[in-house]
Structure 1
């Protein structure tokens, strides 16, 4: 799957698939494996520490939203009247207001339970940054590559092949959505043990500081573990009167 410029709703994987990959990375990060994906309060947040970030939020009734900004593709946020939130009433307006108070968001996509959608862009937007920010979640293989690159591994080495097998099992379990806690513990222990053995600038914990329990907790909270419902943000009921992005 490839992302076009600017991004189109049909470029994105279905929400549950996108969520599974993002949540799996957040689970690994919580246990000590670097991936720049953090989970909290029904949101997976990716921040590359270079001015580029996105957030994927799960809402009730099987819905969700994706918002973000890339510093190389955010000039359009200064267009007078640019409003990426012209969408359905159930969008999480309170959360949007919190995000906008900290930073202008370059794009917003919403999942209604069946398809993705966004506003119709003005012609001046030639790239909203989706292709730069989300490509690593477009396929299982690219998601695995993301983690291995963070472990400073080189392709076609024994370490790369070993890691790819382990991480592919993690991603397949996440995407399948029916893994028991025992299965999750097994694959996360293997993944974190592998990460702890790598000499990477991004791995900042000693081997005995890697925490499988923390990884399992995120897997439960995000609904990856069988028998645990994913946390959700409540849908809202209409855009607040007079609300606009970036007030003031």
Structure 2
């Protein structure tokens, strides 16, 4: 049975970053349908089969952002789209995340600040 993730399911952002970079390096050596890009928005992964995507960004002040979508991500509650930004801190890149949410492309959103 699948259940929605909770923050305690995630490692510290530095460990997530190490895993993400390792995946990007491996993907550069093999054709696994994952395409990685690095830029201003962080490290992004898009699955060529359309099963998932994710973005991980670490900020210099210790904050972090992990967002994306995977098959089975919950984007609606009943008939209403879930507002993943509700209650979120002001520093979240809201415009970008709202663009991601259009068309049900945003299926999860986690942020890290002040040690949690």
Under TM normalisation by the shorter chain, which class is it? Answer: 0.7 to 0.9
Partner of 1:29: 27
Partner of 1:65: 65
Largest Rg, 1 or 2: 1
Kindly indicate whether residue 5 of structure 2 is the aligned counterpart of residue 7 of structure 1. Answer: yes
Partner of 2:90: 89
CA drift of 1:114 comes to 1.4
Higher helix share: 1
Change in CA separation of 1:62 and 1:75 when aligned onto 2, cut-off 3 Å = closer
User: What SS does the corresponding residue of 2:11 show, helix, strand or coil?
Assistant: coil
Q: State how many pairs are aligned.
A: 111
What CA distance in whole angstroms lies between the structure 1 residues aligned with 2:108 and 2:78?
Answer: 13
Change in CA separation of 1:19 and 1:107 when aligned onto 2, cut-off 3 Å = same
Matches within 5 A, 1:92-111: 92-101=93-102, 103-111=104-112
8 A contact 2:69–2:106 mirrored in 1: yes
> Which of structures 1 and 2 has the larger relative contact order (alpha carbons within 8 angstroms, sep 6+)?
1
What do you get for the CA RMSD once the two structures are aligned?
2.6
Change in CA separation of 1:56 and 1:65 when aligned onto 2, cut-off 3 Å = same
CA drift of 1:98 comes to 3.3
8 A contact 1:47–1:54 mirrored in 2: no
What CA distance in whole angstroms lies between the structure 2 residues aligned with 1:23 and 1:77?
Answer: 33
Question: Where does the alignment leave 5 or more consecutive residues of structure 2 unmatched?
Answer: none
What CA distance in whole angstroms lies between the structure 2 residues aligned with 1:91 and 1:85?
Answer: 8
The alignment's TM-score, normalised by the length of structure 1, stands at: 0.39
CA drift of 1:107 comes to 1.6
Higher strand share: 2
